[in-house]
C-alpha cells in the first residue's frame, strides 16, 4: 500500500441496507425516460405518442458512439414526449409511458452474437449499459480505447465509497457468478491479457472474502482491500491507490495501460451477453432519516421516486429533502415525480431536522474545501468566478482554475462549515464553460 493515499475524508458509512437483499419492484403506472441518462449526446426517440411498447423494446436510439440507447422497462403505451429539466439545468426530450401492468417482454430479445472484441463492444453499446457507478460514461467507448493502447490492468471498482449506498456490495454478495463470467468475458476478448484488480473498501469484509473466494484459482485476478477514505471510488483516486499511478491532466487512464470498470457494470454486461435483455432496471438503495424501511430495490428505470418510496413502505415523516444518488455526489430534487435513470444508485430522503442542518450561509474563507479536494483544486476560485459579471472573465477564471478536472466527488461541499452548495455550483459552471467553449469554437 502506498504511503500517501489520495482521498482524505473519513465520512460516516451509514450502510444500514448492507444486509438487505434487493426486492423487485412491481410495474408502476407510469415511467419517464429522459433521453440523456449518460455522458455524451442525448438518445433520439424512435417511438411516438400512442405507440405500444414492450419490456426491452428500443424507445430511443443512440446518437453515435458517445451516446447510449434507451429501452422500455414496462409494457404499455407511449403517452407523450415532452421536455425534461436535467440536473445540469438543460432540457431534454423525455418519453412517458403508461404501463399496462403486464410487463410483457419484447419478442426481439435474444442474446447477442459475441465472437471477438468488436462484437463485444457492439453488444455492450447495444445493451444500453453505461458506467453504473454514477459516472454514466458509455462503457463501449471505454473498451474502444484498448484497440490503440496496450492494456495492462483492469481495475474493477467495488469501492462504493458513498454513505448509504450498498447496491454494488449486494451485487458482489448475491451475484458473484455474474462477476466471474464478466471477468472471463473480458479475458477472452481483450487483446493484451491484462491482470485484474478488485478495489474494495475494508468496510465490506464479506465482499472482499466472496470475490477472493470466487477467483481463488485465478492468478491473474487479485483483490485489494482499500481503506475507507472518501472518494476512494473516484477513477483517478482508485488508480493511484491501487497502482500508485497518477493520471496526468490531459491523459486518459487507458493511455497508461489502465481501465477502470464498476463491478455492477461488469456483472450486467455478463448478464446481457447471456440473456440479451438490455438495461431496463437497476438496483437502487432507498435510505435516509425520513424512510420508514430502508432497503435495496430493483427498480424499473423510469419509475418515479414517489412510486419507489411507496412500494418500499413509504416515509415515516415528511421528507424535507430528497437526493437522487448518494449524499455526496447526488442531486437534490424538487419533486418526487422525478424518475430513476440509469445512473441512479440511491434515493436518500431526509427529515426536516437533517435537511435543515444543511442550511447554507456565507463563505467564511476557512480553506477546508481546498484542503479536502483529491484533485488538488481550489473550489474557492470557482466561487470567485461565479461572482464576476463579465462572462469572458468568468470563463477565463474557471478555465484557469481547471474546473474541468473536478471529479464531482462532493468532498468540498461535505467539509464546508458554511454548507455552501459548492458541488451544485460547480456542475452548473462546468456546463456553462462547456457551452461557452463550444460557442467560441463555432460549434454552436
Total residues binding ligand SF4 (CB under 6 A) = 28
Please tell me whether residue 423 binds ligand SF4 under the rule CB under 6 A: yes
Please tell me whether residue 420 binds ligand SF4 under the rule CB under 6 A: yes
Cell numbers for 259: 481501465
Cell numbers for 154: 483492469
Nearer to ligand SF4, 376 or 438 (CB): 376
Please tell me whether residue 409 binds ligand SF4 under the rule CB under 6 A: yes
Q: Which residues have C-beta within 8 Å of that of residue 29, sequence separation ≥ 6? A: 98, 99, 101, 307
Nearer to ligand SF4, 375 or 432 (CB): 375
Q: Give min distance, CB of 350 to ligand SF4, in A.
A: 20
Distance (Å, whole) CA 238 – CA 243: 8
Distance (Å, whole) CA 443 – CA 436: 10
User: With contact defined as beta carbons under 8 Å apart, do 374 and 11 qualify?
Assistant: no
Please tell me whether residue 401 binds ligand SF4 under the rule CB under 6 A: no
User: With contact defined as beta carbons under 8 Å apart, do 105 and 57 qualify?
Assistant: no
Helix boundaries (H) for 13-138:
117-127
Please tell me whether residue 350 binds ligand SF4 under the rule CB under 6 A: no
User: Which residue in the set 412, 427, 432, 436 belongs to the binding site for ligand SF4 (CB under 6 A)?
Assistant: 412
Nearer to ligand SF4, 98 or 408 (CB): 408
Please tell me whether residue 424 binds ligand SF4 under the rule CB under 6 A: no
Task: Please list every residue from 200 through 239 that binds ligand SF4, using CB under 6 A.
Answer: none
Please tell me whether residue 427 binds ligand SF4 under the rule CB under 6 A: no
Nearer to ligand SF4, 129 or 416 (CB): 416
Query: Residue 70: in which H helix or E strand, if any?
Result: strand 70-71
Distance (Å, whole) CA 269 – CA 345: 17
Q: Give min distance, CB of 39 to ligand SF4, in A.
A: 16
The 8 Å CB, 24+ separation contacts for 309-315 are 309/336, 309/347, 309/349, 311/25, 311/26, 311/28, 312/23, 312/25, 312/286, 315/290, 315/291, 315/349
Of 64-72, 168-176, 300-308, 417-425: span binding ligand SF4 (CB under 6 A): 417-425
Nearer to ligand SF4, 83 or 364 (CB): 364
Residue 224, Cβ density class (10 Å: 0-12 exposed, 13-18 middle, ≥19 buried):
middle
Please tell me whether residue 172 binds ligand SF4 under the rule CB under 6 A: no
Helices (H) and strands (E) in the chain, counts: 14, 17
Please tell me whether residue 416 binds ligand SF4 under the rule CB under 6 A: yes
Closest CA to 280 of 56, 30, 32, 51: 56
For the window 357-396, what string marks contact with ligand SF4 as x by the rule CB under 6 A? ------xxxxxxx--xx-x-x-xx----------------
Nearer to ligand SF4, 78 or 377 (CB): 377
Q: Give min distance, CB of 362 to ligand SF4, in A.
A: 8
Please tell me whether residue 433 binds ligand SF4 under the rule CB under 6 A: no
Nearer to ligand SF4, 171 or 398 (CB): 398
Q: Grid coordinates 464478466 are at which residue?
A: 182
Contacts with ligand SF4, residue ranges (CB under 6 A): 363-369, 372-373, 375, 377, 379-380, 406-412, 415-418, 420, 422-423, 426
Amino acid at each position: 500500500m502506498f504511503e500517501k493515499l489520495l482521498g482524505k475524508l473519513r465520512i460516516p458509512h451509514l450502510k444500514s441496507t448492507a444486509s438487505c437483499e434487493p426486492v423487485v419492484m412491481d410495474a408502476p403506472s407510469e415511467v419517464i425516460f429522459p433521453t440523456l441518462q449518460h455522458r455524451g449526446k442525448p438518445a433520439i426517440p424512435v417511438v411516438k405518442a400512442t405507440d405500444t411498447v414492450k419490456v426491452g423494446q428500443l424507445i430511443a436510439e443512440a446518437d453515435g458512439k458517445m451516446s447510449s440507447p434507451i429501452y422500455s422497462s414496462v409494457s404499455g403505451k407511449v403517452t407523450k414526449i415532452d421536455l425534461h429539466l436535467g440536473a445540469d439545468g438543460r432540457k431534454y426530450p423525455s418519453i412517458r409511458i403508461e404501463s399496462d401492468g403486464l410487463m410483457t417482454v419484447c419478442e426481439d430479445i435474444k442474446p447477442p452474437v459475441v465472437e471477438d472484441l468488436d462484437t463485444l463492444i457492439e453488444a455492450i453499446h447495444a445493451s444500453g449499459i453505461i458506467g453504473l457507478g454514477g459516472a454514466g460514461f458509455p462503457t463501449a467507448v471505454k473498451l474502444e480505447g484498448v484497440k490503440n493502447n496496450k492494456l495492462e490492468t483492469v481495475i474493477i471498482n467495488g469501492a462504493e465509497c458513498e454513505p448509504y449506498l450498498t447496491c454494488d456490495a449486494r451485487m458482489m454478495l448475491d451475484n458473484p457468478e455474474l462477476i466471474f463470467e464478466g471477468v472471463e468475458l473480458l479475458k477472452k476478448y481483450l487483446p493484451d491479457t491484462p491482470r485484474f484488480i478488485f478495489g474494495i473498501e475494508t468496510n465490506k469484509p464479506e465482499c472482499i472474502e466472496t470475490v477472493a473466494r470466487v477467483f481463488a484459482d485465478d492468478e491473474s485476478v487479485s483483490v485489494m482491500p482499500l481503506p475507507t477514505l472518501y472518494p476512494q471510488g473516484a477513477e483517478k483516486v482508485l488508480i493511484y491507490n491501487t497502482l500508485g499511478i497518477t493520471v496526468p491532466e490531459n491523459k486518459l487512464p487507458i493511455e497508461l495501460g489502465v481501465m477502470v470498470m464498476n463491478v455492477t457494470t461488469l456483472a450486467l454486461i455478463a448478464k446481457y451477453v447471456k440473456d440479451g435483455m438490455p438495461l431496463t432496471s437497476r438496483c437502487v438503495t432507498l435510505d435516509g432519516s425520513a424512510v420508514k424501511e430502508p432497503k435495496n430495490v430493483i427498480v424499473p428505470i423510469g419509475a418515479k421516486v414517489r412510486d419507489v418510496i411507496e412500494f418500499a413502505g413509504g416515509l415515516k415523516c415528511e421528507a424535507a429533502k430528497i437526493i437522487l444518488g448518494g449524499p455526496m455526489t447526488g442531486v437534490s430534487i424538487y419533486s418526487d415525480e422525478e424518475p430513476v435513470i440509469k445512473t441512479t444508485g440511491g434515493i436518500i430522503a431526509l427529515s426536516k431536522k437533517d435537511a435543515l442542518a444543511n442550511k447554507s450561509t456565507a463563505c467564511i474563507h476557512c480553506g477546508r474545501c481546498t484542503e479536502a479536494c483529491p484533485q488538488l483544486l481550489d473550489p474557492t476560485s470557482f466561487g470567485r468566478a461565479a461572482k464576476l459579471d463579465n462572462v469572458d472573465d468568468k470563463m477565463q477564471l474557471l478555465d484557469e482554475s481547471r474546473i474541468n478536472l473536478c471529479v464531482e466527488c462532493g468532498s468540498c461541499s461535505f467539509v464546508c462549515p458554511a454548507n455552501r452548495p459548492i458541488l451544485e455550483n460547480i456542475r452548473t459552471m462546468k456546463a456553462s464553460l462547456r457551452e461557452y467553449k463550444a460557442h467560441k469554437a463555432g460549434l454552436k
